[in-house]
Amino acid sequence: MNPAYDMLKTRFARIATLGEASAMLGWDASAMMPAGGGAARGEQLATLAGLMHDMLIAPETGAALSAAEADGDWGSANLALMRRAHIRATALPTALVEEATIACSACEKTWREARRASDFAAVRPALENVVRLTREQAARLSDALALSPYDALMDGYQRGITAADVTPIFAQYEVFLREALPRVEARQAAAPARIPLAGPFPVETQRRVAQAMSSRMGLEFTHARLDESTHPFCGGTPTDVRITTRYREDDVAQALLGVLHETGHALYERGLPAAWRRQPVGEAAGMGAHESQSLIVEMQACRGDAFLGFLGRELHAAYGGDAAPYSRENLARLWRHVERGFIRVDADEITYPAHVMLRFRLEQALIAGDIQVADLPAAWNQGLHALLGITPPDDERGVLQDIHWYDGAFGYFPSYTLGAMAAAQLMRAARTAVPGLDDALGQGDASPLLGWLRANVHAHGSRLGFQDLLRAATGKPLDPSDFQAHLTARYLD
């Protein structure tokens, strides 16, 4: 036993526990807290962020990291991740961490009102403050990590992946999109007309059905909750997972598919190695890995032909009426419809990467100082038109639609498309390894898929980085051609 390493494990467990408390306060702020509690909640979150930061940068932490030794793959990986966290933390003064937390909390609250009013000018000063502080953090992290400022931010969400890795992947996809999208649109135009699902769909019934489908995918609600929020998300802790969605009585798909997406995140959290709980190596392998888990559930499994047949029968039983709209073929035409749209979260899986590419390019320019906050609405509209040939009619459907920048999350967006590509690659490997996987999904049984993910993804925690995790599970690093092959098979073959 190494006393220095034992001390570090205890300290990092305490930091993780504070992080869990912060996560629950964040969930409450989005799902339950009255509007008047926002200022105090920002101060609470800042205090917790400051406490965690102080524990990471304390002299005794640095001394222990210098003296610590750890045995085995897991222990060595855990110690390496501790050192990485310490390097990132010591690059940032506690006062800056607290100031940024308060600024992000305040900006996010202002954004909610600005988005409702489609008034970018209302949130612009708050966002300018967030960007100023983010640039300062990025510059400090850049020096400590020997990365560009933007890469240093990306490293906080998916370690080992840089803009130089992502740029050619996105460029290749842009070529595919330009060729495939018109072909898909033409094929859809020649297909039978979509039959809309006739509402209304009572919210309470939607909630019951969504939770039942989440349970079908393997989420145990003895360790999870389903609530409502403006922006669906998964939060909480591995033993107390909180997922949220938003309901519309005229649209059953938005809430249901949102819940299935967040269920994928929740299953990943629930499947992390319990023996390494509250240790760095016991956490998820990054946000690209996390998005692969939400999308393998929602897009690969639940929007696949097999599960749609089962789901249609369940929805017809819940809502009644004509059975024809709930057929597998019609649900596929409804929920796999490709359309050039303004809203990222409503985008189909072919056009979705274009929304991510736009944000990736804009936030790189913003962090580099090549554009300013005031430039964002026009740059956004021009960028979306260049990619999809459409221009948002207002800022609510343009630059104000996402929470991320207003909450200080720069460098996060690439994870969405990296995750989509990884999900296709993982699903291909799972189908090869698990005969009968689609037959089981057709019966509403996701346990073969979940069992494979538990063994090949979840159980590794963050012992492996994104690329090594894919190598272990599929035999190769990220291969965007698997994603393109999936899209071609689903939409063009």
Q: Where are the domains of the chain?
A: 3-146, 158-493
pLDDT tens per residue across all 493 residues of the chain: 699 999 999 999 999 999 999 999 999 998 999 989 989 998 999 999 999 999 999 999 999 999 999 999 999 999 999 999 999 999 999 999 999 999 999 999 999 999 999 999 999 999 999 999 999 999 999 999 999 999 999 999 999 999 999 999 999 999 999 999 999 999 999 999 999 999 899 999 999 999 999 999 999 999 999 999 977 899 999 999 999 999 999 999 999 999 999 999 999 999 999 999 999 999 999 999 999 999 999 999 999 999 999 999 999 999 999 999 999 999 999 999 999 999 998 899 999 999 999 999 999 999 999 999 999 999 999 999 999 999 999 999 999 999 999 999 999 999 999 999 999 999 999 999 999 999 999 999 999 999 999 999 999 999 999 999 999 999 999 999 999 999 999 999 9
Q: What is the pTM (predicted TM-score) of this model?
A: 0.94
> Among candidates 187, 229, 173, 237, which has minimal Cα distance to 414?
173
CA 321 to the chain's CA centroid: 35
The answer for residues whose C-beta is within 8 angstroms of residue 127's C-beta and 6 or more apart is 107, 111, 373, 405, 406
- DSSP H or E segment with residue 226: strand 224-228
Interatomic CA distance for residues 93 and 336, integer angstroms:
47
Minimal CA–CA distance to 80: which of 160, 157, 163? 160
Residue 129: closest CA among 142, 111, 147, 145: 111
CATH of 158-493, one of 1.10.1370.30, 3.20.20.220, 1.10.1760.20, 3.40.50.11810: 1.10.1370.30
Active site residue 20: no
Q: What's the rounded Cα separation, in Å, for the pair 126 and 108?
A: 9
Catalytic residue from among 98, 108, 262, 269: 262
User: How far apart, in whole angstroms, are the C-alpha atoms of residue 162 and residue 6?
Assistant: 33
